[in-house]
């Protein structure tokens, strides 16, 4: 699970930092030390969201230590973390999406079957991210058994091992079909996971870093893979989709999480209004 891996990495980073000060166990950690660590992270120019996540990892860890009797008191209880900046997610414009998805913008591959396979894969990856609003981890973990291209349905396992089905449009289904029929075999190796939909250059399951490299190659401006998920949700709401439908498609357990996109959508509506109304 991505969250568990992130927390494990956060705790290892804290342990390494604390060990430089001579600490060798959780029982010696005091609250003031944790506050110094968060301040240290801020001086290292970590993003506020990253520091907040590291604080959450520390709270979870020391709470666990207290329950297991490893420490007498929890030094991280109520540990404050910097608030998120509240910055709204970036939404790609239709022109930016055309650059990413339009075949006319892709590089020439000549007669190289490997390069052609990568082009087919990259198009399928980007089409699916935008068509279904998938998290990157969901896309990377997608199994061939989760594709029903005839019915235009993708089944993914999201956070909390919750499974959901998402409809996709014809262009996304066509891109996936082309990759599976003409591209995947070019990248497959004996060690390749047979059920994985997407593979990287060496035949392993596609990973989040591979997806980021795809966007780096295709996008003319720096673009995070999650921007496609943001764009998916916002464009649906702009088109009149019900908020609860978008919640189901995104796999959010809480409607409050989905509501951030209504603010994005309102900003876009205000922008369009100011740019088009004669008296605005």
Q: Which one from 159, 164, 212, 268 is the annotated catalytic residue?
A: 159
Tokens in use for 190?
Answer: 């004996």
Q: Which one from 54, 229, 230, 235 is the annotated catalytic residue?
A: 229
Q: Which one from 59, 121, 230, 252 is the annotated catalytic residue?
A: 252
Is 159 assigned a catalytic role? Answer: yes
Element (H, E) at 177: helix 170-178
Is 229 assigned a catalytic role? Answer: yes
Per this entry, what is the length of the chain?
A: 280
CB count in 10 Å sphere of residue 223:
19
Identify whether the C-beta of residue 173 lies closer than 8 Å to the C-beta of residue 152: yes
CA distances from 214 to 25, 70, 222 (A): 42, 45, 11
Q: How far apart are CA 121 and CA 125, in angstroms?
A: 6
Q: Find where tokens 């088109």 sit.
A: 239
Element (H, E) at 101: helix 94-101
| Helix, coil or strand: residue 167 | strand
Is 263 assigned a catalytic role? Answer: no
Is 135 assigned a catalytic role? Answer: yes
Sign of CA dihedral 99, 103, 233, 132: negative
Tokens in use for 104?
Answer: 């006319």
Within a 13 Å sphere around the CA of 45, how many CA atoms are in the beta-carbon half? Answer: 0
Q: Which one from 54, 59, 121, 135 is the annotated catalytic residue?
A: 135
Q: Which one from 169, 217, 226, 266 is the annotated catalytic residue?
A: 226
Q: Which residues are catalytic?
A: 135, 159, 226, 229, 252, 261
């Amino acid at each position: 699970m991505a969250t568990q891996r992130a927390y494990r990495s956060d705790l290892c980073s804290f342990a390494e930092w604390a060990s430089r000060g001579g600490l060798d166990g959780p029982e010696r950690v005091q609250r003031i030390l944790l506050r110094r660590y968060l301040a240290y992270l801020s001086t290292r120019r970590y993003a506020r969201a990253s520091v907040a996540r590291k604080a959450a990892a520390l709270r979870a860890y020391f709470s666990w230590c207290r329950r297991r009797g490893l420490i007498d008191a929890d030094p991280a209880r109520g540990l404050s973390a910097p608030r998120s900046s509240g910055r709204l997610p970036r939404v790609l414009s239709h022109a930016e999406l055309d650059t990413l998805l339009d075949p006319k913008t892709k590089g020439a591959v000549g007669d190289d079957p490997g390069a052609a396979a990568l082009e087919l894969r990259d198009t399928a990856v980007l089409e699916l991210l935008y068509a279904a609003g998938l998290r990157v981890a969901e896309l990377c973990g997608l199994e061939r058994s989760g594709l029903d291209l005839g019915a235009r349905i993708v089944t993914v396992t999201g956070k909390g091992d919750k499974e959901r089905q998402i409809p996709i449009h014809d262009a996304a289904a066509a891109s996936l079909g082309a990759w599976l029929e003409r591209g995947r075999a070019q990248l497959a190796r004996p060690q390749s996971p047979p059920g994985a939909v997407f593979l990287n250059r060496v035949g392993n399951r596609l990973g989040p870093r591979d997806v980021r490299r795809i966007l780096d190659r295709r996008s003319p401006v720096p673009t995070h893979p999650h921007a496609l998920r943001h764009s998916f949700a916002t464009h649906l709401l702009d088109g009149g989709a019900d908020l609860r439908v978008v919640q189901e498609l995104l796999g959010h357990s809480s409607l409050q999480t989905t509501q951030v996109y209504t603010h994005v959508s309102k900003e876009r509506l205000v922008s369009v209004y100011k740019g088009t109304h004669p008296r605005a």
